Structure 1
Amino acid sequence: MQNHTDPIVIDPEGPDIQGEIARIRERGPVTKVVLPGGIPAWSVTSAALLKEILSGSEVSKDPRQHWPAFRNGEIGKDFPLLNWVNTRSMFTAYGSEHRRLRNFVAPAFTARRTSAMESRIRAIADELVTELDVTQQGDPVDIREKFAYPLPLRVINELMGVPEHLIGPLRKCVDGIFDIALSEAEAVANYEEMIGLLQHLVEYRRGNPADDMTSTLISHVDDPAKDFSLEELVGTLYLTVNAGHETTVDLIDQSIYLLLTNPDQRAAALDGSLPWADVIEEVLRFEPSIAHAPLRYAVHDFTLGDVAITAGDPILSCPAGANRDPEIYGDSAGSFDPTRTNKDHMAFGYGPHRCPGAPLARLEAQVALPSLFQRFPQMKLAVSSDELGSVPGFIANGHDRLPVLLK
C-alpha cells in the first residue's frame, strides 16, 4: 500500500486522469512519479515551471542523446512508453535537429493551407450530421464514434493522402498506440504493423503522387540536396497521424460532453452570445486532449523551482495539470468557464515543440460543433456521466464512448 511519502505510481489505464493529476499537484509543482514500466520521473504540473523548461535548452526529447538508461540499453521492449520515445521524428529531436525536421512539416500547416481546408471540413461535417439525422427518435447514438471520430480521421487522411484501403488498418493502430496498457507483445506488434502500413503508404504515393503531405515529403527524400531520410519520413507520418487524429477526436468529444453537461453555456453558444471560439479555448484548457506528454530528459543538472534535477532524469510534462494551475487561474481553475478572460493554456504544448497542427485542430472544432448542435439543439446524454468510461492510457484524455439522444 502506498503512503504519502512514496512517489505516485501513474495508472497506465488512466481511469481518473484529472483526479490523479490533482493528487500529484498536492505533492508540489515538481514531484516524483513512477511511470508504467517502473521508471521514475519528475512530473511538472506548474504552468510557470513547465513554460520555463519547454522554452529553454535544459530539457531534451532525444533519448539517444540525453537519456542514459535508453542509450545504454537499460530500457527494454517491455517499456510501455517505448513507442513514444524511440521513433525518429521531430517529436523526439532536440535543438537544431528538431528545427531541421520541423521545417519539412511546417508547409503542410501554413495558415493559407489550413484556411483552404475549411470548405472540405465543412462538407465532411455536413455529411456526417446528415447521416445522423436519419436516427429514430429515442435511439441512442455514440456521438464519439459517429461524429467526433470520423471527422478528424477523414481530414488527416486527406491531408496525408491515405488511400481508402489503408484507412481502417491505420485507425486500429492509432488506437493501440494510445493504449499504454497493451502487453509487450501487443504493443510491439501494433507498432510494427503501423510502421509497415506507413511504409506501404509511401510506396503507394511514390507510384501515385498527389497534392498531399506524403507526396511532398517523398519529394524531399528524393532530392539529394535535402537532408531528409526515408526513416525520418516514416517517423514524420507516424507522428502526424497519431498527433493529428486522436487529439482532435478528443477535443470534439470533450467539447460535446461539456456543452451537454452545461446547458446554459450551450444555449449561449447557440444564440451567439458566447463565441464558439471561447468555448473551444476553454475546453482545451479544462480538458486538454493530451493530459501527460512523454517524455523529456534533463540535458544537465539544474534546479526547477526548488527541486534539484539530475542530468538524464526523465521528465513528464503535464499540460492538463498546468491548465488547472491555481497560481494562474485562481479559485476557478477547476471550473469550466468559457467566459473567463484568461484564455492562455498549454493544450498544444509550448516553445519549440508547440504543435504545428494547432490551427487545423481549432478549425475542425469551430466547424464541427456549431454544425452538430445547430442540427440537434435538443441533444442530451443517453447515460449518466459515470458510465462513459475513458480512452485507455494516461496520455490521451477522452471518453471511451459518448452515447446521446439526438432528438
Structure 2
Amino acid sequence: MDSAGGCPHADNARLLARGAVASVVLPGDVPGVAVLGHDALKEFLAHPDVAKDARHFTALTEGRIPEGWPLRTFATVQGMTTADDADHRRLRGLVSKAFTARRVEALRPRIETLTAELLDRIDAAAEEGDGTVDLRAGFAMPLPMGVICELLGVDGRYQDRLHHLSNQIVATDIGPAEAMAANRELVELLGTIAAARAEQPGDDLTSALIAARDDGGDRLGRHELIGTLLLMIIAGHETTLNLVTNAVRALCTHRDQLDLVTTGRAGWADVVEETLRWDSPVSYFPFRYPTRDLTLDGTVIPQGTPVLAGYSAAGRDTSVHGPDADRFDVTRPARTSAGRHLSLGHGPHYCLGAPLARMEATIALEQLFRRFPELDVTVPDEKLVRHASFVGNSVRTLPVRLRPDTGSAAG
C-alpha cells in the first residue's frame, strides 16, 4: 500500500482486474490483504468467522508490530469498532440511543442553522479576500465537526485541534514518533474533556456515556470511554468531511449532473449516494481478522491476517455497478437500490452515524449550491493535493470561487 495515499481509482482498477481479493504490504512491511470486489467485501463484512478484536491479529499478539506503527491505533483502540459479539453489542447499545431516527431528525434545524452560519462566514471571507476560499477548511470540516462536538458536549475551542490530531491518526505516511505523539495528545485531550463532563454533566452524549451502566450495572471503563470518544470524533466528522468535499468536486467537474439536480431531475440525496459509491470517503479501512483460514472468492486469507475493507474499489466494481461504474451519474441511485454501495459498511458494524452523515451532507450541498449556484473549483481536479493516507479518500484543500470572477470583464 502506498503510504503517501493519492487517488486510489487507477490502482483499484488494476487490482480488481486480477481478482476481488489482493495480498498487500502494509507500512513497515507487514503482510496483509485487501478485499476489493463488491460481492466479496459484502460477504467478508458480515462473515461469522471474521473478527474486529486485535487479539486475533497474529503479528500483533506475537509482538511483531512496533508501538509507533502508523495503523496501530486502528487495531488497539478500545471501542465498538474493535469489539465483537456481546462486547460489541454492549458498547454499540450505549451509543446508539443518540443516533435513533427520531434523535437524528431532531438535529435537522440545528444542522440547517449551522450550515447557514458557515456559508455566511465563507462568503464574508471571500469578499474580504480575492473571492476564493478553501471550502474544505471553511465549510466541509466545521459543519460535521461542530455537530459531533455539540452531540458530545465538547467545547468549541477544541475543534481545530481535534481535527488536526484525528487527521494524524488516519494518516499512513507519518513516522513512529509523530504517530505516538498524536495518539498520546489526543487521548490526553479527550481525557480532559471527559473529566470536565464528569465534573459538570450536561445534556450531551459524553455525560450520558459516563453515567450509563450496562445490564450488569457496570460503567464504561476509562479506556473504553476514551476509545469511544476517539472513534466518534474521527468517524463523526472525517467521513462527512470527505463526503461533502468529494461531492462538490464531482459536481463541479460534472456540471451536467449538477444541472440535473438544480432543475429537479435528480435529488440531493441522489448526489450523496452516488458520491458514496463513486468516490467513497474512506478508501481502505483497517482492520478485520479471519479467525480461521478463510477462502473468499477463491483466495485463502490465512487466520490472523490484517484485512483492509476496500470501499473505494468496491464502489467501482463493474461486475456489480455495470461497465460505466467509473462514471459519475446522479440518476443511478434512482435506477438501482441506494443501498447497493458499501461505503458506510455492512453487517454488525454498519456505520451507526450513517443517517446523520447523509443528513449533514444533503443539507450542506443543497444550501451551498442554492446560495452559490455558480460555485466552481479553481484548480483542476488532477492537480489537487490528495490525502497522505490510503484510509481517507479526498483532497487536502478545496479552493473554490463562490461567484464568477467578473474582474477581468470589468477591466
Deviation at 1:223, TM superposition (A): 9.6
Match of 1:74 in 2: 64
Equivalence map 1:28-47=2 (5 Å):
28-47=19-38
Residues 220-254 of structure 1, C-alpha deviations (whole Å, 9 max, x = no match): 26997135212111110010000111110000001
Of the candidates 151, 159, 171, which is equivalent to residue 167 of structure 1?
Answer: 159
Deviations 1:163-212 (A, max 9, x none): 13322321221121121111100000000000001111110101221111
Corresponding position of 1:6: none
- Measure the CA separation in 2 of the matches of 1:402 and 1:29: 32
Contact 2:289 2:304 in 1 (8 A): yes
* CA deviation profile, 1:252-286 (whole Å, cap 9, x unmatched): 00111111111111122112221111111000100
SS at 1:31 equivalent? strand
* Conservation of the 8 A alpha-carbon contact between 2:211 and 2:219: no
Q: Distance in 1 between matches of 2:62 and 2:50?
A: 19
- Which residue does 1:97 correspond to in 2? 87
Matched residue SS, 1:85? helix
- Give matches, 1:227-246, under 5 Å: 228-246=220-238
C-alpha separation between the residues in 1 aligned to 2:121 and 2:263? Answer: 25
Task: Write the distance in 1 (CA, Å) between the matches of 2:130 and 2:247.
Answer: 23
Gaps of at least 5 residues in structure 2 are 404-411
Give yes or no for contact 1:59–1:298 (8 Å, CA) kept in 2: yes
Aligned residue runs from structure 1 range 252-291, under 5 A: 252-291=244-283
* CA deviation vs aligned residue, 1:351-378 (integer Å, no higher than 9, x gap): 0011100000000011111111011011
> What SS does the aligned partner of 1:191 have?
helix
- Return the offset for 1:309: 2.2
Match of 2:409 in 1: none
In structure 2, give the amino acid aligned to 1:200.
T
Alignment partner, residue 331 of structure 1 = 323
* Distance (whole Å) between structure 1 residues aligned to residue 353 and residue 54 of structure 2: 24
The whole-number CA distance in structure 2 between the counterparts of 1:53 and 1:345 is 14
The 1-side partners of 2:161 and 2:318 are apart by: 42
Shift of residue 386 of structure 1? 2.2
Select between 53-62 and 196-205 the one with higher mean Cα deviation.
Answer: 53-62
| Partner in structure 2 of residue 7 of structure 1 | none
User: Could you say which residue in structure 2 is the equivalent of 1:369?
Assistant: 365
Residue aligned with 2:328, SS? coil
Give the secondary structure class of the aligned counterpart of 1:331.
coil
2:110 pairs with 1:120: yes
Structure 1 match to 2:383: 387
Equivalences for residues 8-407 of structure 1 within 5 A: 10-64=1-55, 66-134=56-124, 135-136=126-127, 139-220=131-212, 225-226=217-218, 228-340=220-332, 341-342=335-336, 343=338, 344-407=340-403
Which 5+ residue runs of structure 1 have no aligned equivalent? 1-9
Count of aligned pairs between the two proteins: 397
* Amino acid corresponding to residue 194 of structure 1 in structure 2: L
- Distance of 1:132 and 1:314 partners within structure 2: 42
Cα offset, 1:153, TM superposition: 1.1
Which region of structure 1 is more displaced relative to structure 2, 220-229 or 348-357?
Answer: 220-229
CA shift, 1:16, in A, is 2.5
Tell me, in whole angstroms, the C-alpha distance in 2 between the residues paired with 1:109 and 1:23: 38
Shift in Å, 1:131:
1.9
CA contact (8 A) 1:37 1:78 kept: no
| Distance in 1 separating the partners of 2:160 and 2:278 | 31
Kindly indicate whether the alpha-carbon contact (under 8 Å) linking 2:165 and 2:186 is maintained by their aligned counterparts in 1. yes
Q: What is the TM-score when the length of structure 1 is the normalising length?
A: 0.94
SS in 2 for 1:348: coil
CA distance in 1, matches of 2:281, 2:320: 20
Query: Would you say the 8 A contact 1:221–1:230 is kept in 2?
Result: no
- Distance of 2:251 and 2:390 partners within structure 1: 24
CA drift at 1:96: 1.9
After TM superposition, the runs of 4+ consecutive aligned structure 1 residues lying more than 6 A away are none
**Matched AA of 2:159:** I
* Comparing 136-145 and 53-62, the one that deviates more: 136-145
1:78 and 1:214 mapped to 2: Cα distance?
28
Q: Distance in 2 between matches of 1:376 and 1:71?
A: 53
Q: Aligned-pair distance for 1:139?
A: 2.1
- Report the residue type matching 1:378 in the other structure: E
